């Protein structure tokens, strides 16, 4: 059985401030480090065979908490980075809504390519999906944990599952340090087995990008 765990990174100051991160390299804050340490034993109990992480610090540092428990090396893969948010990166969501109202409305409605140099969702899904597939090809039958980002995880899962944009738009955002689990059944193919799983004492934070 092949099992993929897509794990969103811990909290950052930009998450807490409702600021668009995208591919800006923002580190975990104290809460994010605490979240990673709380989630790591739960993921270690799944007996992962490999850990792959986005090369952005917030994902790599999250992965390191699991590596410390399992002894596994973390393999970086830049294809697991968050969606590139173009001219929005560094702005707060209220600033985005004020400065780019038409593009903001399109993004909220689930537009694939809302403008402002934002990476199209189809491109995001294909690059993250390629990273997931490469890991499957490298280690068939393994359990692989991917430390990545909320939007990247959703689109990567959609690519693997073959879900269209209408379905993906209805999937709730991952909380910090929560994960989605996919399994491959030889008869039925890829299946979503769990979504938004994480520590029971997780403090809720607003979804961020």
- Which residue numbers are catalytic? 9, 82
How far lies 161's CA from each of 30, 68, 72, 183, in Å? Answer: 34, 31, 27, 10
Closest CA to 86 of 117, 121, 120, 56: 117
- Answer for the pair 174, 116: CB distance below 8 angstroms, yes or no: no
* CA 151 to centroid of chain Cα atoms: 6
Structure tokens that stand for 4 in this block: 């993929």
Is 53 in a helix, a strand, or coil? strand
């Amino acid at each position: 059985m092949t099992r993929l765990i897509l794990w969103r990174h811990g909290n950052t100051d930009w998450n807490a401030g409702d600021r668009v991160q995208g591919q800006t390299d923002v580190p975990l804050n104290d809460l994010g480090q605490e979240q990673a340490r709380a989630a790591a034993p739960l993921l270690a109990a799944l007996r992962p065979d490999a850990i792959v992480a986005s090369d952005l610090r917030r994902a790599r540092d999250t992965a390191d908490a699991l590596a410390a428990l399992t002894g596994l090396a973390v393999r970086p893969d830049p294809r697991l980075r968050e969606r590139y948010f173009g001219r929005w990166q560094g702005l707060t969501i209220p600033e985005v809504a004020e400065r780019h109202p038409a593009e903001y409305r399109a993004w909220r409605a689930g537009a694939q390519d809302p403008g402002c140099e934002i990476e199209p969702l189809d491109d995001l899904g294909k690059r993250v999906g390629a990273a997931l597939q490469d890991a499957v090809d490298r280690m068939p039958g393994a359990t692989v944990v991917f430390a990545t980002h909320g939007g990247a995880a959703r689109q990567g899962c959609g690519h693997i599952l073959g879900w269209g944009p209408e379905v993906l738009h209805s999937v709730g955002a991952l909380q910090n340090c929560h994960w989605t689990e996919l399994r491959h059944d030889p008869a039925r193919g890829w299946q979503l087995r769990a979504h938004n799983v994480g520590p029971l004492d997780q403090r809720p934070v607003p979804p961020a990008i």
